[in-house]
Structure 1
Amino acid sequence: MSEEAELRQELVRMGRLLSARQLAHGTAGNLSVKLGDGNALVTPTNSSLGDLDADRISKVSRAGDLISGDNPSKEYFFHLAVFDERPGARAVVHLHSAYSVAVSCLRHEQTDDVLPPLTAYYVMRVGKLPLVPYFPPGDHALAEEVRSVSREHRSMLLANHGPIVSGASLSDAVSAYEELEETAKISFILGDRPTSPLNAEHVANLNRAFPT
């Protein structure tokens, strides 16, 4: 089986997994993987991640031209921006899961990192989570914001929208996304109670031991 055929099947499998875990609903959210030739596979527009057809998944060029399959998600452009800025990224996950979207709707005094480092695994898999300003769905101006943030971060949160998470593989990106959603959930469970997040030294030690 070719690389492309394998990755098409992986997108189908991960879409079903995310849907089964109630992280993807309706036709919201999109997934992508980068092929070895620089082109990308992107889930189609208005598709349910729990019911993807491998043969209909969109294949687009680095310039965003449709090569085969159905029309890509209307947000394909920020997937390509991440791939351009992060050479090690081979997959991007963008969903509208409840707790992460709830965090994106809060008022944040500081926007460079909007979730506390509550656990080591959050630091290892997500890192800092900057908030990107709000743009309407499908607005191509968002691509430049995503591109800029991607230079330093593998994860980000779109205001009033949801997270974008990249990884060295689709499995890595999905695992990081799940860690982000669980940390958002924990943050709401803790609420206004006094918390004890990891300190700067803890975070620095983790970043040295588990570089991205």
Structure 2
Amino acid sequence: MSLPWPATQDAVRADIARVGASLFQRGLAHSTAGNISVRLTAEQGGGFLITPTDACLGFLDPAQLAWVIEDGSTLAGARASKTLILHRRIYASAPDAHCVLHTHSTHLVALTLQGVWHNDDILPPLTPYQLMKVGHVPLVPYRMPGDASVADDVAALISKTHRPLRAVMLERLGPVVWHDSPGSAMALLEELEETARLWLLTERRPEPLTDSQIGELQIRFNTLW
């Protein structure tokens, strides 16, 4: 399969570090919160790369990323993030996913504290790019960080959604998004965080897009909504 980023494992490691630094520098990730993983092809060595536990995304050492195989055993690098089981279940449930990204993005976490729009969709359909790039984002009820049962919750949501799901929101913790590359996952996260910020800034009063407007987007752009 041809992937939209360089083919070597070293290049993938560098891309993970680049995305982590970009998120950190722009305030979309902070402290040691958040993690990034990539599913490797056979040509890249197979298994997964994932950021180490308690690592700061702004200062990742590409050489220290945890390299794990399908069952979660470590081949090389530092100890994997405690969310490894969640990442592995997403990859198993979403075959098109090649990168999983989790942060504690401020406006999205604030949204869960104030109350989301609906549990099945944390935000109403507000902007065309939200529908085109993000789609539906269900809420996953709060569980302690690292709780393995979150992986079951997310896998169940992926399996029951009638349209492709690319993101969920962990209550009080932050979004988890997945896409075909680190850059694509970062762009999805940015769009989701920006939509949450817009809704909070406008005091949650804007009218959603109408059914007719949504239908037009679905026909023309095959949106995820």
Q: TM-score, structure 2 length as denominator?
A: 0.88
Which residue pairs with 1:169 in the alignment?
Answer: 181
1:155 maps to amino acid: A
1:36 maps to amino acid: T
- Checking the alignment, whether the CA contact within 8 Å between 1:33 and 1:170 is kept in structure 2 is yes
Asked if 1:97 corresponds to 2:109, the answer is: no
Which residue pairs with 1:134 in the alignment?
Answer: 142
Distance 1:109 1:120 in 2: 18
Equivalent residue in structure 2 for 1:198, among 206, 209, 212: 209
**Residues 47/142 of structure 1: CA separation in 2 closer, same or farther (3 Å cut):** same
Distance 1:177 1:18 in 2: 10
Asked if 1:186 corresponds to 2:198, the answer is: yes
Shift, 1:123, TM fit: 0.7
Which residue pairs with 1:24 in the alignment?
Answer: 29
Equivalent residue in structure 1 for 2:156, among 140, 144, 148: 148
Unaligned runs of 5+ in 1: none
Q: TM-score, structure 1 length as denominator?
A: 0.93
Stretches of 4+ aligned residues off by more than 6 angstroms: none
- Checking the alignment, whether the CA contact within 8 Å between 1:3 and 1:35 is kept in structure 2 is no
Greater Cα shift, 49-58 or 30-39: 30-39
Count, aligned residues: 211
**Residues 56/125 of structure 1: CA separation in 2 closer, same or farther (3 Å cut):** same
Shift, 1:188, TM fit: 0.5
Secondary structure of residue in 2 paired with 1:33: strand
Distance 2:132 2:32 in 1: 30
Distance 1:211 1:120 in 2: 9
Aligned CA RMSD, in angstroms, stands at 1.6
